[in-house]
Amino acid sequence: MVEISVEELLNKTKIENKYILTRLAIKKAKELIKEKDKRVLQDFNKNLTTLVLKELLEGKIKDLKNLTKEN
């Protein structure tokens, strides 16, 4: 089981609010589902939420400003 703390994510992403961080993770997960990027999802045996949070923690999601904008 992967344990990712909220404080760790907030520090890494420089987002000051855990609710904005949650919305960001949801938005990214929805984008992955829409894109149906089989290459990413195919080999990942954990759930999609864990994948998104892990990518945030590792700094793989670079366009945080666009993801945090309201639609």
**Tell me: the pLDDT tens digits for 6-57?**
899 888 888 888 898 888 888 888 887 777 655 555 655 567 788 888 888 8
Domain extent, residue 48, equals: 6-60
Number of domains in the chain: 1
52 assigned to some structural domain: yes
The answer to whether residue 71 is domain-embedded is: no
Place of tokens 């990027």: 37
More confident residue, 64 or 25: 25
Is pLDDT at 71 greater than 80 in this prediction? Answer: no
Residue 68's pLDDT band, with cuts at 50, 70 and 90, is: low
Q: Which amino acid is at 4?
A: I
Contact 47, 8 (CB under 8 A): no
**CA–CA distance, 66 with 63 (Å, rounded to integer):** 6
Evaluate whether residue 1 is within a structural domain. Answer: no
Measured CA to CA, the distance from residue 57 to residue 71 in angstroms comes to: 24
Q: Is residue 10 part of a domain?
A: yes
Report the predicted TM-score, pTM, of the whole model to 2 decimal places.
0.68
